[in-house]
Amino acid sequence: MTAAVRGSVRGKDWRHFLLAGLVWLLSPMVVAEDPAAVTRAEQRAEAVTQVVLGILSYARWPVEPAQLQLCIIGPTQYTDDLVKGTTQATGRPVSVQRLLADNPDIATQCNAVYIGQLTDEERSHLFASLAGKPVLSISEGGDPCTVGSLFCLRVGDEQVSFEVNLDSVARSGVRIHPSVLQLSRRRTAAP
């Protein structure tokens, strides 16, 4: 009687061992399905974070906030690092929050907005609400940088660059250090 019990326990142990072995063999395939794509996406997100923080550090508001409020508007691709919250090189903390494009408090709650994919109507409504307010705007990409945004990111596999809309900068009330404006000219002129 004890032999029969041991045999059935061994049979179950053997099946568990086989199942564990299969899971172990297949797990690298699942985890390492495409590590290069994940790594590139993470690198882009980190690069975007560095560029955004750089832009913010060279901006001056009429009344400097002790803690910078960055609002993410719309669906985005590269804000995973930004959402974690961060600190600028100057030591000023940056608080990050996501808001809907039609939130009426954007102009009063945000010192800067990072704009993802919006419809034309949402985009025009957002910029109408920001008109005359000292809010720095950065678009993630896809727009020609001719209407609304102060900065438009150009995210590539090798680098993140940006364009500056000088008309929007002049109307925003946010002062941008001339070095940043020169940097954008050099980056966009490079092939």
**What's residue 185's pLDDT?**
60
Asked whether residue 10 falls in the same domain as residue 56, the answer is no
* 136 pLDDT above the threshold of 90: yes
Asked whether residue 111 falls in the same domain as residue 184, the answer is yes
Instruction: Point out the least confidently predicted range of 8-22, 30-44, 126-140.
Output: 8-22
Asked whether residue 64 falls in the same domain as residue 5, the answer is no
The whole domain housing 141 covers: 35-189
Instruction: Tell me the C-alpha to C-alpha distance, in Å, between residue 53 and each of 5, 17, 63, 169.
Output: 66, 51, 19, 17
Asked whether residue 106 falls in the same domain as residue 22, the answer is no
* 54 pLDDT above the threshold of 70: yes
**What's residue 69's pLDDT?**
96
- Length of the chain in residues, anyone? 191
**What's residue 146's pLDDT?**
74
Q: What is the CATH number of the domain that holds 148?
A: 3.40.50
pLDDT > 70: percent of the chain: 75
The sheet that has 112-115: what strands, in order across it?
86-87, 93-99, 68-73, 112-115, 136-139, 151-155, 160-164
* 167 pLDDT above the threshold of 50: yes
Q: Is the pTM for the entire model greater than 0.85? A: no
pLDDT, the chain, mean: 79
* 189 pLDDT above the threshold of 80: no
Asked whether residue 83 falls in the same domain as residue 5, the answer is no
* 162 pLDDT above the threshold of 60: yes
Q: Cα-Cα-Cα-Cα dihedral of 50, 96, 147, 122, to 10°?
A: 140
Asked whether residue 60 falls in the same domain as residue 95, the answer is yes
Asked whether residue 142 falls in the same domain as residue 78, the answer is yes
Number of domains in the chain: 2
Asked whether residue 45 falls in the same domain as residue 69, the answer is yes
**What's residue 148's pLDDT?**
84
- Between these two residues, 185 and 100, which has the higher pLDDT value? 100
